[in-house]
Structure 1
C-alpha cells in the first residue's frame, strides 16, 4: 500500500509540475484562455453649469447689499472655448425688471480668441413677466413703486426685452446706467467681470447671480415664462439666494470620455507608459492631448502586441466620445495571467488620461462581472502644461515632463465620479 500511495503522489506531483511549466520550457501547458468583455461607462452628472456664483458685496464694502450709483460688482471665473456667460441683476427702480445678456448668454471665445473689453452692448433690460409694471422710480437710490416685496399684482407673463413691452413707461438705455467690462488673464485662463453702476445712473442694482454654461437659454428663454428657478426673486426683490442656490446645485465638472485603447502584454512589460519617465513617443501624447488613440494603436500593433480600440458608444452608429450615460463595450480573447492595459483621455483636459498602473491589470480566471474602477487613476502625460480643468485655451504650452499621476494643484473629481469600468470572463 505504501508503494501505491507513493506512486500516486509522484504521479500527482509530476502532473502538477507539468501544468505549471513556463511557456518557454518544452512541453509546457499553456494557461487557459477565455473571452473577456470590458465595459467603460461615463457616469458623470450632466451638470448644466460649469461654474456659477453670486457677487454680493459692492467693491470697497464689507457687507452684502445693492450697488448704488457710483458702485460696482466684480466676479471671476474660468471658462473654455465652448462656454457662455449669463447673469442677472435687478433694475432696482422697477417691479420685475432685470439686467443681463440674452438667454443665449455671452460667448466667451470667438474661435480661439477670448472675448474681452467693454461688453455693455451685450447687456439688455428684461421684464421677467412676473409682476405688472408700475411707474419706475425716478432719481438715484430709488426702488420699485410698491410698499413691500411681492405686493405688486401678478402678471403671469413671459420674459421679454423691455423694448417689446408696451407699458407706457420709458426706460433709459443700458449704457446710461451701466458699464460692463470683461477682462481675461491669459496665464491663469481666468475671466473677470466688472459691472459699474454709473454715478449718473437712475437706479440701484441688486447682487449679481451668474453662471458659465455650454448650452443656450440657461437662465431664461425670451418669450417663455420664467423657469421658476429663482429669477423672479432677483427681478422683483433683488433676492439672489434662490437662483444662486439652484445654480450651485446644478454646477459641476462635466467631461466627455475619449475612445479607449487596450493592449495585452506580459506582466514584465509596460507598453503604454512608465510612471516617472517621459512619454515613449509612440502616440500616447496624441491620445492624451486629442483623445485619438490611432497612432498609439498602430505603434503597439507594429511592435507585435494584441491591440484594440473601442470608439463606438453602445446604441450609436457613429464613432465618438462618451458623454454622461454613454458606454463602450469590447471583447477579446486572452490568457489567464496576461496583463491588460487601457488608456483613454479625460476629454476636458490638456493631456490627462485614465489608466491603471503602468504594468496593467492581471486577467483573472473568475467569470464574475467585476468592477475594476478602483484600479484606474488620472495620469498626466507630461506633454502639455495643464490649465484649469475644463477651461483649456488654444495656447497649448509644451511641457517636456514625465508621465505621472496628476499633481498640478487643480481640483479634479474622483475617478469613480466620472467613469465605471467592469470586466467579465465570458
Structure 2
C-alpha cells in the first residue's frame, strides 16, 4: 500500500494541480460572498473522508484454462495458457507457473514484475527474455520423498527453451498474456497465478528472501495456482484518491456548479472533474457573490494533497438554516467523474446533531472527457484524454460499459451545525 500511496501522491498531489500554485489554491478559502441579512448566520462544519478499502494491488487471479490438446491443465508441449487483464501506465505485471518436472521450481518475471508501459507506450511482443526459472526454496531439489526445506527464493536460470511468453495490447487498457509450451519441452506448465500491481512492489516473492507463505509453495510444488491467485485477488481492487473539495452556499433553486442534463458551463467544473483542481470554479463562484471556497489540505497534514483511504478534509462556513450547500470533488482515478449532491445542492438544517449525509452524494460524469477503464485509463489523472461534448449526468446513467463504485464505497460526508 505504501508504494501505491507514493505513486498516487506523485500523480495526484503534484501533477493534479499543475495549473494552480499553492497560494492560488488556498485563496478561495478566505473569500466569501454576502449573506442575506435576515437571521444571524450559523457556522457549519463538514468532514469528507475517503473510506475506500485498502487494497494492495489493482487486479489478480489464477488462470486454469488450457488451449490445445485435451484442454485440461497442466499445459503440455504444443498447448497454451492465456490471461487477459486490464492495466494502466503506473502498473506492472507479475505471474508464476510451476515448472512441472521439478520439486519446487516455477517460471516468473523478476520479483518486482514487468513494467507494462515503459517510456509511456504499451509493452508488446515476445517477453520470454523477461521470464526466468526460479527455485521456491521450499522442497529439496531431486528429492523423491517430498523432503521440505526452508531456503530463500533464488534464480535457477536466466534462459529458457521450454516456453514462449508473448504480450499483446488490445487497446483500452486491455492486455493479453500468452504462454506457449513449446514442442519438445522438457516439462508441462501448471495454471498461472497473476497480479497487476504498482511500481516497487514484490507481490509474489522476493529474491533472496523466504517464501511469503501466501500460496507460492503450493503452486511451485504441486502446480495448484488457486491459493496464490485467491490471496492476490483478496488484496486487489479499485482504489481511488478523492480530490480537494469545492463548496458553495446558496439559496433554494440555485444551481451554482452544474445543471443536470445540460452541457458544462465552462466556468471551472471541467478543470475540477478532469484534474482535481477546484481553484478556477471556486474563484468563479466567489466572483459571482457566493459564499464559496475549497478544502485542499488533509487533516493533520501541511500540504495540498488528495485524500487516500482514511484521510479527511474538514472545512467550516457561515450559512443560515434553509440555505443550501453544494460540493464537488473529483474521483481521482477517472477521466472526468466527480462527487456532488444534486444540481440544487443539500438543504441545511437547524439542528446541532452530527449528520451523515453520504446518501445524498452521487458520482457524476462531467461529459467533458471520454471515460476509460476505472483505475487503468491511459489518460486518467493529469494528462488529457479524448474530449467529448456531452451533458453533465449521473454516472449511473452513462452507458460506458465499465463498473464504477457507488459513491458511498469511496467517500463519506458528515455535517453538523456548531453551537453558538
Q: Is the 8 A contact 2:50 2:308 kept in 1?
A: yes
How far the C-alpha of 1:207 sits from its partner, in A, is: 0.2
Change over 3 Å in CA distance of 1:298–1:62 after alignment to 2: farther
In structure 1, stretches of 5+ residues that fail to align are 1-27, 135-144, 164-171
Which residue of 101, 112, 116 maps to 1:108? 116
Matched, 1:222 2:230: no
How far the C-alpha of 1:409 sits from its partner, in A, is: 2.6
Q: Is the 8 A contact 1:262 1:341 kept in 2?
A: yes
How far the C-alpha of 1:185 sits from its partner, in A, is: 1.8
Which residue of 396, 417, 425 maps to 2:409? 417
Which residue of 382, 390, 401 maps to 1:401? 390
Moved >3 Å (runs of 4+): 60-64
User: Residue 183 of structure 2 corresponds to which residue in structure 1?
Assistant: 199
Matched, 1:368 2:353: yes
Q: Deviations over 1:88-146 (max 9, x none)?
A: 00011111111011111111112431111111121111111111111xxxxxxxxxx63
How far the C-alpha of 1:31 sits from its partner, in A, is: 3.3
User: Residue 8 of structure 1 corresponds to which residue in structure 2?
Assistant: none
Which residue of 108, 124, 137 maps to 2:132? 124
Q: Which moved more, 1:396-405 or 1:243-252?
A: 243-252
How far the C-alpha of 1:289 sits from its partner, in A, is: 0.8
Structure 2 Cα separation of the partners of residues 287 and 111 of structure 1: 28
User: Residue 25 of structure 2 corresponds to which residue in structure 1?
Assistant: none
The DSSP-based 3-state class of the residue aligned with 2:61 is strand
Matched, 1:82 2:90: yes
In structure 2, stretches of 5+ residues that fail to align are 1-35
User: Residue 162 of structure 1 corresponds to which residue in structure 2?
Assistant: 156
TM (norm. structure 1) is: 0.85
How far the C-alpha of 1:29 sits from its partner, in A, is: 7.2
Which residue of 257, 266, 271 maps to 2:256? 271
How far the C-alpha of 1:240 sits from its partner, in A, is: 1.0
Which residue of 322, 329, 332 maps to 2:307? 322
The DSSP-based 3-state class of the residue aligned with 2:377 is coil
Structure 2 Cα separation of the partners of residues 42 and 243 of structure 1: 29
User: Residue 159 of structure 2 corresponds to which residue in structure 1?
Assistant: 173
Which residue of 280, 288, 293 maps to 1:303? 288
How far the C-alpha of 1:271 sits from its partner, in A, is: 1.0
Q: Is the 8 A contact 1:31 1:336 kept in 2?
A: no
User: Residue 252 of structure 1 corresponds to which residue in structure 2?
Assistant: 237
Q: Deviations over 1:294-351 (max 9, x none)?
A: 1111211222211111111111111100111111111111111111110001111111
Q: Is the 8 A contact 2:242 2:306 kept in 1?
A: yes
State the superposition RMSD in angstroms.
1.6
Structure 2 Cα separation of the partners of residues 262 and 71 of structure 1: 58
Which residue of 214, 220, 231 maps to 1:235? 220
Structure 1 Cα separation of the partners of residues 129 and 122 of structure 2: 17
How far the C-alpha of 1:397 sits from its partner, in A, is: 0.9
Structure 2 Cα separation of the partners of residues 380 and 119 of structure 1: 38
Change over 3 Å in CA distance of 1:111–1:401 after alignment to 2: farther
Q: Deviations over 1:153-201 (max 9, x none)?
A: 11111111125xxxxxxxx822x11111111122x32111101111132
User: Residue 137 of structure 1 corresponds to which residue in structure 2?
Assistant: none
How many correspondences in the alignment? 375
User: Residue 68 of structure 1 corresponds to which residue in structure 2?
Assistant: 76
Which residue of 178, 192, 201 maps to 1:208? 192
